[in-house]
């Protein structure tokens, strides 16, 4: 049967992860647990009631474990919310209603979800603000019990049956980290920015992505053909056959270009006039170390270890962390790996750590602040990193440092851990280098002081830009103002490089800015010694470094510093660099 072709639906968003995806659409339903309803046979009613009781018991055990961890670490007061959650599980009403529903032959999952939805709706209507906020706890309890009731079938996302383009309102970093890479051709979200962590993980995993595509969910339905152009930020639904074929051909050309770049794997990142730049990879998950090696990285310049803490019910143990960190260190040796200690908070929250709602999470309890206030959790991670250091060249750095006091507190903890390990006769690298990230304007302005007490500085440009310009990195409406090339940012970069070098320290950049070919050359010109970029960007950045003499990059950087606005810097970069860069970096929208 032939169906009249509807006009293609075209959208433009923010290009968040390069690449082209063409394939059927899969719409991600916002609801985290898709609970199915099915009738229970009369002779299965008792078993279903027992199944429900088992899920409640397992949830109670989870909560008790979390509660005790929090109580030991933060005190009884902080643990109280878990007492409240455990009380919800013991509520006689809950058991009476759900069991009654099961006797009416409804399955436990649906009966439980309906009960919790009614509780949440009641809380929504109460005047008392404190009680209203308990809604988050109700939802937490609901998710926990449903996880036990539904086992692995928990997310629509994991049930992809064919390679698809995902379309969602929002995908968090742990959602993207858990996607089945073989079955995801591309992803589109309605919200987010280029440096949202969901987008960063997509880049790390090579998933073409466009974010901030408003309203697309209204039009998207499962099975439609979709196109994602992660270079230019274009998305098309139900394209003409000719358009789809053009994009498929483009995808093949890009795949071939990527193969051609393989020739560079063995080559160093050296400018034509002989300046060596350390070119490392960013990874989010231990197994991504393989992509870093395959891309020809000089090491891992940023391992975002916090992903270890996300999307799970309890803290990762020291042994589990040692295993993962050791695997990465061993695989890379003799190349270095920089373990960035847990950067939780902001958009990366682990509910079992007792994170509470904050009005301004990016200005709140995150990074090193969060770590220092969870000393047991932090110490366990530091121990694991030290222990892994016996098996390769490990370094460590702290995120979001804003003062010398914070650095000193973290270093004191490291010294204590090293002493403990020495007493226990555990092998570790006594000379493990500890550095910091420069991500806040305050760190920029005390970079000279911080550089005295740390071995290196790595600029986290994603956050540094957001805090310097006061522009939320996740806010799609501000994306056009979130500007790496503005004079305030360039001056901050230069100041940091000078402060680091004056103290004899190397200075790197590990934010997304370093992954853009032209920006990378500018950073080299500003004196940056190391760039750490996604595995996808790495060969492209290497090609750019190998095409532009350092003397030219320095002259361009000096001219850029004299520009009054970002637009002028961008024009300068195009004018001076496009004639020098390989054609594949200038065309195809894969540069800035």
Would you list which residues are annotated within the binding site? 304, 340, 439, 462-463, 473
Q: Confirm whether 95 is a catalytic residue.
A: no
Q: Using the rule CB under 6 A, is 302 a contact of ligand PEP?
A: yes
Select from Mg ion, ligand PEP, none the partner in contact with residue 229, using the beta carbon and a kind-dependent cut-off of 5 to 8 Å. Answer: none
Per the structure block, which two tokens stand in for 355?
């994170």
Q: Using the rule CB under 6 A, is 508 a contact of ligand PEP?
A: no
Per the structure block, which two tokens stand in for 542?
């290497």
- Binding site per annotation, positions for phosphoenolpyruvate: 304, 340, 462-463, 473
Q: Which of residues 417-446 bind ligand PEP (CB under 6 A)?
A: 439
Select from Mg ion, ligand PEP, none the partner in contact with residue 516, using the beta carbon and a kind-dependent cut-off of 5 to 8 Å. Answer: none
Rounded CA gap, 315 and 431, in Å? 28
Rounded CA gap, 527 and 116, in Å? 57
Neighbours of 113 (CB within 10 A): 20
The helix/strand/coil state of 565 is: coil
- Minimum Å distance from CB 171 to ligand PEP? 16
Reference 14, options 240, 244, 203, 178; nearest CA is 203
Neighbours of 243 (CB within 10 A): 16
Task: Choose between 474 and 576: whose C-beta lies nearer to ligand PEP.
Answer: 474
Select from Mg ion, ligand PEP, none the partner in contact with residue 304, using the beta carbon and a kind-dependent cut-off of 5 to 8 Å. Answer: ligand PEP
Half-sphere exposure of 502 (CA within 13 A, CB side): 13
Per the structure block, which two tokens stand in for 488?
């305030």
Q: Confirm whether 5 is a catalytic residue.
A: no
Q: Is the peptide bond before 334 cis (omega within 30 degrees of 0)?
A: yes
Helices (H), 352-486: 368-372, 375-388, 404-423, 441-445, 447-453, 461-469
CB 436 within 8 A of CB 398: yes
Q: Using the rule CB under 6 A, is 288 a contact of ligand PEP?
A: no
- Minimum Å distance from CB 367 to ligand PEP? 8
Task: Choose between 98 and 446: whose C-beta lies nearer to ligand PEP.
Answer: 446
Applying CB under 6 A, among 510, 528, 533, 545 the residue interacting with ligand PEP is 510
Neighbours of 434 (CB within 10 A): 21
Per the structure block, which two tokens stand in for 385?
């990193």
Q: Which of residues 319-358 bind ligand PEP (CB under 6 A)?
A: 343
Build a one-symbol-per-residue string for 439-478: x at contacts with ligand PEP by CB under 6 A, - elsewhere.
Answer: x--------------------xxxx---------------
Task: Choose between 392 and 511: whose C-beta lies nearer to ligand PEP.
Answer: 511
What is the secondary structure of 454-486 as a DSSP string? SSEEEE-HHHHHHHHHT--TT-GGGGGG--TTS
- Minimum Å distance from CB 291 to ligand PEP? 17
Select from ligand PEP, Mg ion, none the partner in contact with residue 542, using the beta carbon and a kind-dependent cut-off of 5 to 8 Å. Answer: none
- Minimum Å distance from CB 462 to ligand PEP? 3
Catalytic annotation, pick one of 197, 234, 374, 519: 197
Q: Which residues bind ligand PEP (CB under 6 A)?
A: 200, 302, 304, 343, 439, 460-463, 510-511
Catalytic machinery residues: 197, 510
């Amino acid at each position: 049967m032939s169906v009249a072709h509807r006009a293609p639906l075209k959208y433009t968003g923010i290009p968040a992860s390069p690449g082209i995806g063409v394939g059927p659409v899969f719409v991600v339903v916002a609801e985290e647990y898709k609970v199915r309803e099915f009738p229970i046979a009369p002779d299965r009613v008792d078993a279903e009631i027992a199944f429900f009781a088992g899920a409640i018991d397992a949830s109670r055990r989870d909560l008790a474990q979390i509660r005790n961890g929090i109580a030991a670490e933060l005190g009884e007061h902080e643990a109280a919310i878990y007492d409240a959650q455990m009380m919800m599980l013991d509520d006689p009403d809950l058991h009476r209603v759900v069991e009654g529903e099961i006797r009416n032959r409804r399955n436990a999952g649906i009966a439980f979800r309906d009960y919790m939805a009614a509780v949440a709706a009641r809380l929504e209507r109460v005047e008392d603000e404190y009680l209203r906020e308990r809604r988050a706890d109700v939802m937490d309890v609901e998710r926990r019990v449903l996880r036990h009731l539904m086992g692995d079938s928990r997310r629509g996302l994991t049930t992809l049956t064919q390679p698809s383009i995902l379309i969602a309102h929002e995908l968090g970093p742990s959602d993207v980290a858990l996607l089945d890479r073989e079955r995801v051709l591309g992803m589109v979200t309605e919200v987010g920015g280029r440096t949202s962590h969901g987008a960063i993980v997509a880049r790390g995993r090579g998933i073409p992505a466009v974010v901030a595509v408003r309203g697309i969910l209204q039009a998207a339905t499962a099975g439609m053909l979709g196109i994602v152009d992660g270079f230019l930020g274009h998305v098309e639904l139900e394209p003409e056959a000719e358009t789809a074929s053009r994009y498929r051909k483009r995808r093949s050309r890009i795949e071939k270009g990527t193969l051609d770049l393989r020739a560079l794997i063995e080559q160093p990142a050296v400018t034509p006039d002989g300046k060596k730049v350390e070119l490392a990879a960013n990874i989010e998950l231990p197994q991504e170390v393989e992509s870093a090696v395959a891309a020809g990285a000089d090491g891992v310049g940023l391992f975002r270890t916090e992903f270890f803490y996300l999307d799970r019910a309890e803290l990762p143990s020291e042994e589990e962390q040692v295993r993962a960190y050791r695997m990465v260190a061993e695989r890379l040796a003799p190349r270095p790996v920089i373990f960035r200690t847990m950067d939780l908070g902001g958009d990366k929250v682990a509910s079992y750590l007792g994170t509470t709602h904050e009005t301004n999470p990016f200005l709140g309890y995150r990074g090193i602040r969060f770590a220092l206030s969870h000393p047991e959790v932090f110490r366990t991670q530091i121990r694991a990193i030290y222990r892994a250091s016996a098996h390769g060249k490990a370094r460590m750095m702290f995120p979001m440092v804003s003062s010398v006091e914070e650095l000193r507190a973290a270093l004191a903890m490291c010294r204590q851990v090293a002493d403990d390990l020495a007493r226990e006769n555990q092998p570790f690298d006594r000379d493990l280098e500890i550095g910091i990230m420069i991500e806040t304007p305050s760190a920029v302005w005390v970079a000279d002081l911080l550089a005295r007490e740390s071995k290196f500085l790595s600029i986290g440009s994603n956050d540094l830009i957001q805090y310097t310009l006061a522009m939320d990195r996740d806010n799609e409406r501000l994306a056009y103002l979130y500007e790496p090339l503005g004079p305030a940012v360039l001056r901050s970069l230069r100041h940091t490089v000078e402060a680091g070098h004056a103290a004899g320290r190397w200075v790197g950049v590990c934010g997304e800015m370093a992954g853009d070919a032209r920006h990378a050359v500018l950073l080299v010109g500003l004196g940056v010694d190391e760039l750490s970029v996604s595995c996808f960007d790495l060969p492209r950045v290497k090609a750019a470094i190998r095409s532009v003499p350092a003397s030219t990059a320095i002259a361009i950087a000096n001219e850029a510093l004299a520009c009054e606005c970002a637009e002028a810097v961008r024009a300068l970069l195009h004018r001076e660099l496009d004639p020098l860069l390989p054609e594949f970096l200038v065309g195809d929208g894969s540069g800035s």
